Amino acid sequence: MVQRTLPEKLSILADAAKYDASCASSGGERRGSRDGKGIGSTTGAGICHAWAPDGRCISLLKVLLTNFCIYDCAYCINRVSSRVERARFSVEEVVSLTLEFYRRNYIEGLFLSSGIIRSPDETMAEMVRVARTLREREHFRGYIHLKTIPDAAPELIAEAGKWADRLSINVELPTEAALTRLAPEKSVKTIHGAMAEVKARGEAAKDRTARGTRAPRFAPAGQSTQMIVGADAATDGEILRRSSSLYNSFALRRVYYSAFSPIPDASRMLPLIQPPLVREHRLYQADWLMRNYGFDASEIAPPAGMLDLQIDPKLAWALAHRGLFPVDVNRAPREMLLRIPGIGPRSVDRILKARRHRTLRYEDLLAIGCVLKHAEPFITLPGWSPRALPDDANLRARFAPAPEQLSLF
C-alpha cells in the first residue's frame, strides 16, 4: 500500500466525506470547562463555523476513518470496485487532527464516518476508540457525531452512544427495492434493527432508578439518518412517507436529504444527470412542515407526486386548498393559523397571545413579523380583505418566478 503523509490522507478522506450531509450539530449536549480541565466546550468562546462549497454549515472536522470498503454500493464513490485514491487514518491520527483543528479554532467537533474494512465490527471498534480516546484521555468536551455501521455488534453501538453526542445510521435510499438493487450487501431489516437499538438505549438513558440515580448517558443528541435523492425513481411523495415513518418508528431527530451527485467511474445503474438542488431544498421545507407545522406527508405530496419546484410546499398546499381561505386571523385556531403562508410558529404564538387582549389589525401583523407578501391572499382581519384574490386564476403566478427563455444550446 502507498505510504501517504497526514496532509495527503486528510485531503483524500475529507473529500470522500463530502457526500454525507447528516452532520448538523443541533441538539448537542452543552459541557462546561470551568473546572479548568478539558477542551472543546461548546459553551465557551472560540467556536467557529466552516461552510462547505454548497453552503452547508459543517463546523466539524468531517472525515472518514478510511475510504477502503469491502461493500460495493453502486451510488458510493468509495465502493470496492471504484478506482479512487485510497487512504486510512490511524486512531491516533484522527485524535491528533481533531485536537489540533480545535486549537486552531477551525472546528467545534468531529463528524466521523468510515468505509467498511475487514468487518463491520472491526471498523466500528476503531471509530469507538477514536471517541473514547478523545473523551477519556484528552478530555475533549466538544461535539462528536459517529456514523454507526448497522451490522456492528450491539455492544459496540452501546459504547459508541456512551462517548458520542449523536449517532446516525443511513437508510441510504427511499425504497427497499432500490436498496436491494444498488446496495446488495445492505438490508432494510438490519438498518431498522440498528435504529431500534439506538432508540431503545436512548430511552433507557432517560430513566431514573427508584433512588433517583440517572442511567448512563447515551447519545444525548439522538440519532439521525440520510437519504439519497435522485439515485432511483422514488417520488417526493414516497420519500416523505418514508421520512414520516422513520420519525414515528425510531424517534429520529432529523432526516437529511442529499441530492445524488454523479460520481467518477459511476455504475450504469445510476442516472447520468443529477437532480436539481432545489428538489433537495423543497424536501427540507416539506420535512420542516411535517415536524413543526402539523402537516402529514400525504397532504404535502401524493404518493406518486412530486413537489412543486417553483414555490414552497406550504404555499403550494394553500393554493390547492383555496376553499379553506381566507382565514380570519382573530378567530382561527392555532392549527389553521399555521397553514397560512408567510406565518410561522413563532408568529402564531405572538398572534394567539395578542388576541387575548384585543382585536388584531393588519398593521399588527407587520409588527409581529409575518411575511404579508405571502399571507395577504389567505387572511382577513380589520384593515385588510383579500376580496377576490383567493379565487384569482393567476394567483400562483404572483408567487412563482418569472418565466425565462430556455437556452437553445
Residue 108 one-letter amino acid: E
In a domain, 239, yes or no: yes
Which tens digits make up the pLDDT trace of 203-221?
Answer: 999 887 777 777 888 999 8
Supply φ then ψ for residue 63, to 5 degrees: -140, 165
In a domain, 254, yes or no: yes
In a domain, 71, yes or no: yes
291 and 319 housed in the same domain: no
Region 361-386 average pLDDT? 95
246 and 336 housed in the same domain: no
Residue carrying C-alpha cell 407545522:
293
Supply φ then ψ for residue 385, to 5 degrees: -135, 130
Summary mean pLDDT of the chain: 87
Query: Could you say which of 269, 300, 331 is where a domain stops?
Result: 300
123 and 173 housed in the same domain: yes
- Residue 81 C-beta-side C-alpha neighbours within 13 Å: 11
Q: What is the 3-state secondary structure (H, E, C) of 92-154?
A: HHHHHHHHHHHHCCCCCEEEEECCCCCCHHHHHHHHHHHHHHHHHHCCECCEEEEECCCCCCH
Region 265-287 average pLDDT? 89
Provide, for the chain, the percentages of residues in helix, strand and coil under a 3-state DSSP scheme, each rounded to the nearest 5: 40, 10, 50
267 and 293 housed in the same domain: yes
Residue 132 confidence (pLDDT) above 80: yes
Residue 279 confidence (pLDDT) above 80: yes
Dihedral sign from CA coordinates of 280, 285, 286, 291: positive
pLDDT at residue 373 in the model: 92
Which tens digits make up the pLDDT trace of 304-356?
Answer: 789 999 999 999 999 999 999 999 999 999 999 999 999 999 999 999 999 99
The β-bridge relationship of strands 379-380 and 327-328 is parallel
Q: Which triple of cell numbers denotes residue 57?
A: 454549515
140 and 175 housed in the same domain: yes
362 or 20, higher pLDDT: 362
Query: Whole-angstrom Cα distance, residue 371 to residue 384?
Result: 14
360 and 266 housed in the same domain: no
Query: Whole-angstrom Cα distance, residue 232 to residue 229?
Result: 7
Region 111-126 average pLDDT? 94
pLDDT at residue 25 in the model: 44
Cα dihedral 154, 190, 125, 252 in deg (nearest 10) = -80
199 and 344 housed in the same domain: no
Query: Could you say which of 243, 277, 300 is where a domain stops?
Result: 300
15 and 144 housed in the same domain: yes
The CATH number of whichever domain residue 235 belongs to comes to 3.20.20.70
pLDDT at residue 2 in the model: 72
Residue 56 confidence (pLDDT) above 80: no
Please state at what angle helix 188-205 crosses helix 154-163, rounded to 10 degrees. Answer: 50
pLDDT at residue 350 in the model: 97
pLDDT at residue 219 in the model: 93
235 and 353 housed in the same domain: no
272 and 360 housed in the same domain: no
In a domain, 169, yes or no: yes
Lowest mean pLDDT among 16-30, 224-238, 273-287, 345-359: 16-30
* Residues 6+ positions from 291 with CB-CB distance below 8 Å: 247
Residue 166 confidence (pLDDT) above 80: yes
Which tens digits make up the pLDDT trace of 79-116?
Answer: 998 888 999 999 999 999 999 988 888 888 899 999 99
* Residues 6+ positions from 226 with CB-CB distance below 8 Å: 20, 21, 22, 168, 170, 171, 172, 255, 256, 257, 258
Alpha-carbon Rg of the chain, whole angstroms?
24
**Count of structural domains, the chain:** 2
In a domain, 32, yes or no: no
pLDDT at residue 216 in the model: 84
Q: Which triple of cell numbers denotes residue 58?
A: 459543517
Model's pTM, two decimal places? 0.86
219 and 328 housed in the same domain: no
275 and 373 housed in the same domain: no
Domain that holds residue 359: 313-398
In a domain, 407, yes or no: no
Query: Could you say which of 300, 335, 370 is where a domain stops?
Result: 300
Which tens digits make up the pLDDT trace of 42-53?
Answer: 443 333 354 444
In a domain, 63, yes or no: yes
* 8 A C-beta contact, residue 257 and residue 174: no
In a domain, 129, yes or no: yes
The β-bridge relationship of strands 109-113 and 143-147 is parallel
